[in-house]
Structure 1
């Protein structure tokens, strides 16, 4: 895995400042501690930080073709590079290395922009073609690897693996994007293509961009999408067998490495399935890594140990204190923009543990999105079934009224917590789903934001992001639609961002077999009833894995990484919360209503309400502003 940067003069062939290029490159030294190099020619500069995994002796970057007219800097792994190498050699291309990087330059020569459609893997790269004077950027289909870019006012186009590489450029305007702030306080992250800054963008998953000379900022173009086309009829038994074989093959191609390799093992269905299939493909015991928590309410290590014992893995466990809240400022520096998934803390720790043993780790990421593992999918489908029982003209006013007057009862058993369900049923599927996944719902954000800030949004609402994706969705089946929405927003914006930054902070490469695009395409074509059946998510997957894993693993309640925010904010982080939310910093931005911030703090710390999610979201926004604005912000 690596970090990449680049500078392209779109107005001519001005000299690229070598010192600036190195500074951009060095902001990402954690992504590639093994080697560093830059390439310059008039009007173009590329930089690369390398974590050596394949062809350690010859795979240095930036890398050029035979005559030096095509140069690439690349982050990722192309798992079918050997097959492509053989095909390109047969077409007359000469190779100097055994690396997957060199495949990219020859694939560009042979297929041009369509080369990305031939790659199977995770990747983000910048490629310079001197003959056509154009810069080509591409990002993998699911968004495993990141790519940021911007056009400076002086005509220089810049890009990098992390936003911090762009922030190292003095000419980058740093005006905050109001819509991104609205998105952040709804989702807890900023969905593609926006960043927190008006001037910088993320290249969305499955997109490419060709920036030409004497042209404005190029438009990103989609080259792939999750199809969700139901394939030929298939029995459940055949689907189970084919799913295991396809996943086994996705695991197999991810075992190629010239460095120590292992796996994360949480004890959940997905990571356990990956480890089970790895064990069958490996001659030596698999290295597995797990996090344990002192507080048993958050601890899943016993389930991980059960799988490790079954497959005889070399299992490594680190116990994390549930008071591990010292990473707040570390996370702000890692993510470069506001990011509020608190599971980033244990994710950071498990990556730290894994790197002590291995350089490459396989994970179970992506299984919940493809195979309908989240409970919210079950709720969304059930609610849509109820919506269709009543015409909208009767349903909306009825459930709007029930939602308004039914008391909020977070403390009560789930069966009595109907307020949110009523509010959701008054909406359509997309709005209802947004209502369910929002960290801070519409009514709360209306109270949170000042009138001036709300005016600056010019009518934009965070749900507009989901609506835009829904208009392009390839299926109107309720389950497929909400899965598609997650694959466009939550998966790349939250899950994969979290894993990339946490792993790269420790120079650890993470590979995700369940995000193999050929596997994702095939799963998307399965009948929805095989994924979600009688309220059970991952139905076909769990049934398929019964011969490999015990029922206690497959059918226990999904838990996932969690931290005790509610207790932290009433105990050890009490004063930090009060300083952040009640101090001069947030108030001085003009974004928030101070009285509402005070209400959140008072009601949470008194124990009357649990506002841990909105408080964490505000705390991380405050940490971002402290990092970005420094002393001026802290002093209000």
Structure 2
């Protein structure tokens, strides 16, 4: 696990400033505190920070092929590197190190750009092909590892694992992108391929990017997608048996390491399934860790303890104060752009705890996306059943009117909060799902933004991100479609970003077996009613795990990593929120309707309305501005 950076002169031959490349590299010191190195030649510079996981003494990068015509910088792990190594050696390739990194170099030699199709793992890498004067970059299929890049006005191209590495470039345009702001306040993060700045971008998951000296336009190409190809008819019993076999194989493939290894254990289905499979693979006790909250309404550590006792793991649990709100500025520094998922706070803490004993931790992320485990999946399918009974021409005026007339009853029991449901029913599946997952829906963003900012958007709406994916989706099954939308937006933009930054802040590598692409491909072909049945998500997953986990673990109400936002903003963060709303840097962006900001603060603190999610997104946007220098982060005109 590492941090990588690079600069390429697309005009050819200009010297790369060593001190600039070093500054870029050092911004990511936390990603690889063990060692680092630079490589410079005319027109090219590569930098690397290393966290040693495999081949501890032999993985220093940049790494070259035999005649040094190819140079590689790589972040991630290749889980099938031993099989690939054997195959490549049989084809005549000579290896100089036992590292998984060198496998990529020889795979590129053998198969060119198609090398990515042979790699099983999480990765973001760049290869400089000196004879072809070509830079080839790739990101893993699901977006587990990040890759940012920028094309500068002077013809220099730069890339880095984190956005902060590009912010070291004096030539990077740091104007705030209005479309990215619209997307952030809808999703709670800036979805790929955009970043908050106009001058920087993210490489999409499952894509490669190719640049050739003398040709300044990068060429992006998709090499993989979630197939959702239905399996030939199988009985449920057969599905359950094959699911467990494939899960066990995926977990076992992720256990390759030359350093201490363990797992996160929340006591939920996904993390418990990983620990279960780990316990069945080896003889030594599994190292597990979890965090507890001093407020029982947020604490699920008892369930983690039950799993740990059943499988006799070497378990560690620490209690965290539910009012652990002191990380706001730390998080802004980790994510480099606005990021509003408040579960980043406990995620940071559990990574901090895990790093005390292990260097690699396995996580259960991906289970909800694979098996339709989110509450919003159930809600969306309920709404879709109503849509299927009534044509859009009838639904739109009827439910649109009800949505406008029905009060926003945040204070009421969930069954009476029908406004969002009515609004969703007036839309098609994609827009209805977008409406349901938005942290601030269209109506709320309209109130939040100033008139002048809405004019800058020129009618652009964040739903276009989902519409683009829906139009290209390989399935027309409603449940599969919304799972696909999650895998393209929420999974890489929120979940995987959160875990990557929180873990790398502590030099911890996190692996996600449930997102092994071979496992994802197989699960995507399961019938939808095996994933969501009678209002119960993860149906087939839970059935398959019944011999391994108790019903208390499998069928209890999902809790998640929640924190008491509403109470924080009425209590200990009250003054912080007021300062943020009045921060000149925030107001100078021209983005916000200042009167509405103040109204929300007053209503929330009086307890008459719950604006916690919106106010938190504003608070984290303000933290981003302060962290990045208010004067240098300006709005694009």
Shorter-normalised TM range? over 0.9
Alignment of 1:341-356 (within 5 A): 341-356=341-356
1:282 equivalent in structure 2: 282
SS in 2 for 1:45: strand
Q: Partner of 1:623: helix, strand, or coil?
A: helix
Task: Give the distance between the partners of 1:529 and 1:301, measured in 2 at CA.
Answer: 31
Residues 338-368 of structure 1: CA distance to partner in whole angstroms, max 9, x if unpaired?
0000000000000000000000000000010
Q: Quote the offset at 1:220 in angstroms.
A: 1.7
* 1:447-458 to 2 correspondences below 5 Å: 447-458=447-458
Give 2:50's aligned residue. Answer: 50
Alignment of 1:196 with 2:196, yes or no, is: yes
Aligned to 1:10: 10
Task: Answer yes or no: is 1:373 the counterpart of 2:373.
Answer: yes
Give 3-state SS (helix, strand or coil) of 1:216's partner.
strand
Mapped to 2, the partners of 1:196 and 1:365 lie a distance apart of 25
Aligned twin of 1:584: 584
CA distance in 1, matches of 2:49, 2:616: 33
Deviation of the 1:632 alpha carbon: 8.2
Indicate yes or no: 2:571 matched with 1:571. yes
Q: Does 1:390 align with 2:395?
A: no
Deviation at 1:584?
2.5
Taking the aligned partners of 2:422 and 2:147, their CA distance within structure 1 comes to: 40
Residue 418 of structure 1 and its aligned partner are, at CA, apart by: 1.2
> Residues 175 and 633 of structure 2 are in contact (CA less than 8 Å); yes or no, is this contact kept in structure 1?
no
Q: Using the alignment, how far apart are the partners of 2:418 and 2:444 within structure 1?
A: 18
1:261 corresponds to? 261
After superposition, the C-alpha distances for 1:510-562 in whole angstroms (9 at most, x for unaligned) are: 00000000000000001111001111100000000000000000000111101
Q: Shift of residue 216 of structure 1? A: 2.3
Cross-structure match for 2:412: 412
> Displacement, 1:129?
0.4
Select between 205-214 and 449-458 the one with higher mean Cα deviation: 449-458
Alignment partner, residue 440 of structure 1? 440
> Displacement, 1:409?
1.6
Q: CA deviation at 1:585?
A: 2.8
How far apart in 1 are the matches of 2:98 and 2:629?
Answer: 45
Q: Name the counterpart of 1:316.
A: 316
- State the Cα distance separating 1:257 from its structure 2 match: 0.6
The 8 Å contact of residues 585 and 631 in structure 2, kept in 1 or not, is answered as no
Moved more, 14-23 or 349-358: 14-23
Mean Cα displacement is larger for which, 585-594 or 347-356? 585-594
Q: Partners of 1:396 and 1:458 in 2: how far apart? A: 24
Contact kept? 2:174, 2:632, Cα under 8 Å: no
Distance 2:331 2:498 in 1: 10
Query: What is the distance in 1 between the residues matched to 2:42 and 2:360?
Result: 37
Deviations 1:547-585 (A, max 9, x none): 000000000011110111111111111000001013433
Q: Is the 8 A contact 1:582 1:597 kept in 2?
A: no
Q: Paired residue for 1:26?
A: 26
For residues 155 and 112 of structure 1, the distance between their equivalents in structure 2, rounded to whole angstroms, comes to 26
SS at match of 1:388: helix
CA contact (8 A) 1:626 1:633 kept: no
Q: Which runs of 4+ in 1 moved over 6 A?
A: 631-634
Structure 1 CA distance for aligned equivalents of residues 459 and 395 of structure 2: 26
Equivalent position SS for 1:256: coil
Which residue is 1:224 aligned to?
A: 224
Q: How far, CA to CA, are the matches of 1:632 and 1:95 in structure 2? A: 47
Q: Does 1:306 align with 2:306?
A: yes
1:455-478, Cα deviation, whole Å (9 max, x unpaired) = 111211000100000000011111
Which 5+ residue runs of structure 1 have no aligned equivalent? none
Indicate the residue corresponding to 1:602 in structure 2.
602
Q: CA deviation at 1:219?
A: 3.0
Please give the alpha-carbon distance, in whole angstroms, between the structure 1 residues aligned to 2:116 and 2:308. Answer: 37
Alpha-carbon RMSD: 1.0
Find the counterpart in structure 1 of residue 65 from structure 2.
Answer: 65
For 1:38 and 1:583, how far apart are their aligned partners in 2?
40
Residues 633 and 237 (structure 1), Cα distance of their counterparts in 2 relative to 1, 3 Å cut: closer
Structure-2 separation of matches of 1:373 and 1:402: 29
* Inter-partner Cα distance in structure 2 for 1:214 and 1:196: 28
TM-score normalised per structure 2: 0.99
How many residues in Structure 1 have an aligned counterpart in Structure 2?
A: 634
Q: Kindly state the Cα deviation for residue 630 of structure 1 after the two structures are TM-superposed.
A: 4.4
Confirm or deny: 8 A CA contact 1:7 1:159 kept in the other structure. Answer: yes
Q: Which sits farther off after the overlay, 516-525 or 575-584?
A: 575-584
Q: 1:522 and 2:522 equivalent? A: yes
1:42-191 superposed matches below 5 A: 42-191=42-191
Q: What is the CA–CA distance in structure 2 between the aligned matches of 1:627 and 1:92, rounded to whole Å?
A: 51
Which shows bigger deviation, 578-587 or 490-499?
578-587
Deviates more, 1:19-28 or 1:208-217: 208-217
User: Is the contact made by 1:62 and 1:73 (CA closer than 8 Å) also made in structure 2?
Assistant: yes
Alignment-derived partner of residue 36 in structure 1: 36
- The Cα of 1:393 is off from its aligned counterpart by 1.3
Residue 201 of structure 2 aligns to a residue in which SS? Answer: strand
Query: 1 CA distance for matches of 2:201 and 2:2?
Result: 20
1:448 and 1:408 mapped to 2: Cα distance?
16
